[in-house]
Structure 1
């Protein structure tokens, strides 16, 4: 058994990419507001290094929670593999260079949508957003679409990673990894 949870995650993600019918990079991002109110939503993993990276509108509810508390939890669930990964840790913004590099890989309509959307804010009717999208499309017609200043990414640097594997009769295997304080990880098991 590997004691590097990042290597195990990469192996499981590779298997999920081969077996999951839709969005194997989908993860539930759980945040908490300063008043203690929890919130969860699905986002897509866009990078994995020492942390887990995703991108969003910096004026969204999720970003507000992240700026306020600087912690988050992530859950991956791969039903076809009967596995899940739970991650908890500190949150930091990605660098502008990372944000620019990822934004440049997005499809043009997704880039335009990042400019047109006031994510998480009330919308009076769909036609309002559609009109904004068309106006942004005209604004950048024929040219590149730069990353909006209100759009970037976050990295969740884990201080807890749990790999869960389904077993018969609900006798699951739960492996918990926590930092050992010396750049490595300590592994333990949890009761199912």
Structure 2
């Protein structure tokens, strides 16, 4: 029987140096994300979102990145969900990508805001029909009696909207505006590479952290 405490791995795939990394963290992220996509990793677009509620208890869940640019990182969800309620009370959040096969982690921290209604409308219209119906059918994070509730809701809204369901008022996008990034590359002997970028007077400062 293998004991959890004995599970170990030597990280030896790559390195992350100041000379080889981009001075702009968004460019570094773009490079790593596309390398993860080209490597055909399972769901390279999956990221863990951490929020903190009014009770000061943190919570995490996995969401999918749907866009990124100089303004920030975008995902879409139900505004009435637990994460939506927590972001309404405390807009500071953190994101994390873990590309296990590449021995890489990216952490992003910042403040979150809703994207414009126009952006949310455009993305919602691009989703498959069953996903659009699902946004109406699921009272996300609420207690329901059984799965039959979801099935019944989906049937009801499919009959109501047919092929053209509008975007629900409780559903849309969020954008995290980063003020800190960290790029972690696993290295041999646990001497991992960690480069942090922090925003200082509108400029990104890159610095190495001890592993």
Shorter-chain-normalised TM-score: which range?
A: over 0.9
Question: SS of 2:80's equivalent?
Answer: coil
Match of 1:134 in 2: 155
1:105 is displaced (CA, Å) by 1.2
* Greater Rg over alpha carbons, structure: 2
Match of 1:186 in 2: 205
Query: Distance between the aligned counterparts of 1:22 and 1:106, measured in 2?
Result: 21
Q: Tell me how many residue pairs correspond in the alignment.
A: 190
Contact 1:84–1:165 (Cα < 8 Å) also in 2: yes
The within-5 A match list for 1:91-130 is 91-130=112-151
Match of 1:31 in 2: 51
Deviations, residues 18-72 of structure 1 (Å, cap 9, x unaligned): 1243210100000000110110000000010121111100100000011100110
RMSD, aligned α-carbons: 0.9
Match of 2:92 in 1: 71
Contact 1:93–1:153 (Cα < 8 Å) also in 2: yes
Question: SS of 2:106's equivalent?
Answer: strand
Give the TM-score taking structure 1 as reference length. 0.96
Give the TM-score taking structure 2 as reference length. 0.88
Deviations, residues 153-178 of structure 1 (Å, cap 9, x unaligned): 11011111000000011110000001
Query: Distance between the aligned counterparts of 1:145 and 1:10, measured in 2?
Result: 33
Deviating above 4 A after TM superposition, structure 1's stretches of 4 or more consecutive aligned residues are none
Greater RCO, 1 or 2 (C-alpha within 8 Å, sep 6+):
2
* Unaligned residue ranges in structure 2 (runs of 5+): 1-20
Query: Distance between the aligned counterparts of 2:124 and 2:42, measured in 1?
Result: 22
1:191 is displaced (CA, Å) by 0.1
* Unaligned residue ranges in structure 1 (runs of 5+): none
